[in-house]
Amino acid sequence: MYTTSEHLSAFAGEGLRTLALAYKDLSEEYYQVWKKKLHYVSTVIDNREEHLAVLYEEIEQGMKLLGATAIEDKLQEGVPETIACLTLADIKIWVLTGDKLETAMNIGYSCNMLRDDMNEVFIISGLAQLEVQQQLRSAKEHILGLSRVSSTGDVAKGEMFAEDSVFEEAIIAQCALVINGLSLAHALEPQLEHTLLDLACLCKTVICCRVTPMQKAQVVELVRRHKRAVTLAVGDGANDVSMIKTAHIGVGISGQEGMQAVLASDYSFAQFRYLQRLLLVHGRWSYFRMCNFLAYFFYKNFAFTLVHFWYGFYCGFSAQTVYDQWFITLFNIVYTSLPVLAMGLFDQDVNDQNSLRYPSLYKPGQQNHLFNKRQFFLCTLQGIVTSFLLFFIPYGAFSVMVKEDGADLSDHQTFAVTIATTLVIVVSVQIGLDTHYWTAVNHLFVWGSLIVYFAILLAMQSDGLFGIFSSNFPFIGTARNCLSEKTVWLAVLLTTVVCILPGLVVSFLRVDLFPTLTDKVRHLQKSRKKQGPQEQNLRRIRRTSSRHSAYAFSHQQGYGELITSGKNMRMSTLSSTRSLEGTAQSSSWIENILKRKNEVACISPERPDPPDSHRDFRGSADRLK
């Protein structure tokens, strides 16, 4: 017995998951008797749990110890770096695990989510609702008290602190919250959930241990409902499926645990560290591309359509189109669709290495900077102004224009072709200015679209097509007559210049006077292009290596109690019907659920004896720097 417990401490000291095994021989009659009792007791109406407990206690006596097993389950490589990186990107990370408190806290320390230099680590482990409530409240007041003491600005009322998101950022002075499943069951009740959420938002790190799958989903749901945040859940086992489904984005890690999480998720990959690339590179690029695409699309279509509004004043508001019917059909499909598609697929503002190197590039996406009401208004305004110039400059030029040989040039068809040509050129130049990353495909699509425009224009207004379909192609001869006149090209040039330059001025001024981080990184990228690609050089966070015990032997009950009590199964209907807006949160939070396995292996390769462990950790921490 003593040997076994020594072994167990040794295993736990190395952070292995320990399991003790014992056995007992039962005779058939004894078992039958017990089984009947079990069946009877499970149908009892009152105090069923107690009777069951007594029954279980009866059979689980006098067992013989077999021994102990220890399972080594490493954290995947790169997990702490990933977490550090994501934290720099203003992403809040919460851990929801089914492990014990000690194991979860150990994992937290090894990933640097919990640190020794944190002001306070609040452990909520109350069993009754009242107790949990008191613990939550006192923790919250403690934090607010700490920050009130340390804040140098105005001292606001306690109520305002909790609601003001700016203060929340200022308050986050290094506190951590650890809550176990039983207390969480109480804390997720409608009356306490806001306190829990507020407290969790005030802490830098939240670790929930001993949570059931249903509770994982409930926690995600809580954040989703009350915070204006996007939630992402990462999991690898079947017990994470409900959480993955509840969050906005579900990520499944495919590995040892089977494919359930992968099948339920939106994205899946094999290693946790790929999350960094998923978010900081691909997520960011996707947001950037989508916003550019949208803004350009609105601009292009407003410029195209509003010309008719201006023409209305001159055609008696009879809804006469300015363009050829065929141009209207083909404009959005053929002439301008491919360049913007290429921009939406290939554009990169910052290359992938720099996206990873500067995680705070992720913030504009969180704060909706690239496409919000203001940006929409600006791109719409640009479209309107472009349409105005597109109409009135040719109007001024054409109203008294004649050809070199005196023939008519101020007719409707010439005007139509001129404005159409100008429009295609202007929007192509504009997308040329908007594209940040010119691949061969972009070149092909942009120049190709222009060439295709002229080819189709000349083809459609040719004699041959008119001969076959006479009533459908009334613009016969217009392109040839109109585009061979120098005055027309002068008008096109002037219009293009006037339409493009204001946008160019504004972009240049913005980049010059108020450069965002993206602009600075792009500038850096350009000046560094000559040097070879540097390796990813994330700052290594100094691993403070404090040891906490990881005994599998817990004298507390497991969570069988919790499940049988049914507290985690009930979805409280009250909280699900509430539809609060929640506090305005400037940073977006993402919950991240770790693979809750042991942590030690990533620090030192070989197994040191416990007394030497401190020295080794420090040594290896230096090695890794």
Partner 1 sequence: MGKAKDKSGPLARRPDNSAFKQQRLPAWSPILTANTVLPFFYLLALICMLLGVWLLLTVQSTQEIKLDYTELGNCDQCFQLRKNVSYAAQTCSCKVEFSIDRAFKGDVFFYYGLKNFHQNLRRYMDSRDDEQTLGRKTKLKNPSSYCEPFAKDVEGVPIAPCGAVANSMFNDSFTLTYHPSRSRTIPVPLLRKGLTWYTDKNVKFRNPKTDNLTLAAAFEGTRQPLYWQKPVYDLDPHDPTNSGFINEDLIIWMREAAFPNFKKLYGILNRADASFTKGLPKGNYTIDISYNFPVQYFQGRKEVVLTTLTWFGGQNYFLPIAYLVTSSLILLMAVVLTLAWWKFGKDGKNMKE
Tokens found for residue 65: 């110890």
Of 30 and 454, which has the nearer Cβ to partner 1? 454
158 makes contact with partner 1 (CB under 8 A): no
Of 352 and 561, which has the nearer Cβ to partner 1? 352
**Per-residue x/- marks for partner 1, 452-491, CB under 8 A?**
-----------x--x---xx--x-xx--xx----xx--xx
Specify the long-range contacts of residues 426-430, CB closer than 8 Å, at least 24 apart: 426/303, 426/386, 426/390, 426/495, 426/496, 426/499, 426/500, 427/299, 427/300, 427/303, 427/304, 427/336, 428/336, 428/339, 429/496, 429/500, 430/296, 430/299, 430/300, 430/499, 430/500, 430/503
The single-letter code of the amino acid at 607 is R
Question: Rounded to the nearest whole angstrom, what is the least distance from the CB of residue 88 to partner 1 in the complex?
Answer: 10
515 makes contact with partner 1 (CB under 8 A): yes
Of 509 and 574, which has the nearer Cβ to partner 1? 509
d(CA 37, CA 117): 54
Tokens found for residue 80: 């702490």
Q: Which residues contact 162 (CB under 8 A, 6 or more apart)?
A: 140, 144, 198, 583
Q: Tell which one of 39, 64, 157, 526 touches partner 1 (CB under 8 A).
A: 526
**Per-residue x/- marks for partner 1, 358-387, CB under 8 A?**
x-x---------------------------
511 makes contact with partner 1 (CB under 8 A): yes
442 makes contact with partner 1 (CB under 8 A): yes
Chain-centre distance of CA 287, in angstroms? Answer: 10
d(CA 379, CA 523): 25
Question: Rounded to the nearest whole angstrom, what is the least distance from the CB of residue 446 to partner 1 in the complex?
Answer: 12
258 makes contact with partner 1 (CB under 8 A): no
Q: Tell which one of 33, 54, 381, 497 touches partner 1 (CB under 8 A).
A: 497
Contact window for partner 1 (CB under 8 A) among 177-185, 228-236, 505-513, 585-593: 505-513
Of 24 and 510, which has the nearer Cβ to partner 1? 510
Of 341 and 476, which has the nearer Cβ to partner 1? 476
Of 209 and 423, which has the nearer Cβ to partner 1? 423
d(CA 68, CA 6): 10
Size of the site for partner 1 (CB under 8 A): 77
Strand partners, 402: 408
Binding positions for partner 1, 279-298, rule CB under 8 A? 285
Binding positions for partner 1, 298-357, rule CB under 8 A? 314-316, 318-321, 346, 348, 352
Contact window for partner 1 (CB under 8 A) among 5-13, 107-115, 178-186, 432-440: 432-440
Q: Which of 620, 586, 585 is nearest to 603 (CA)?
A: 620
Strand 64-71 versus strand 17-23 pairing type: antiparallel
**What is the secondary structure of 127-144 as a DSSP string?**
SSHHHHHHHHHHHHHHHH
Chain-centre distance of CA 515, in angstroms? Answer: 24
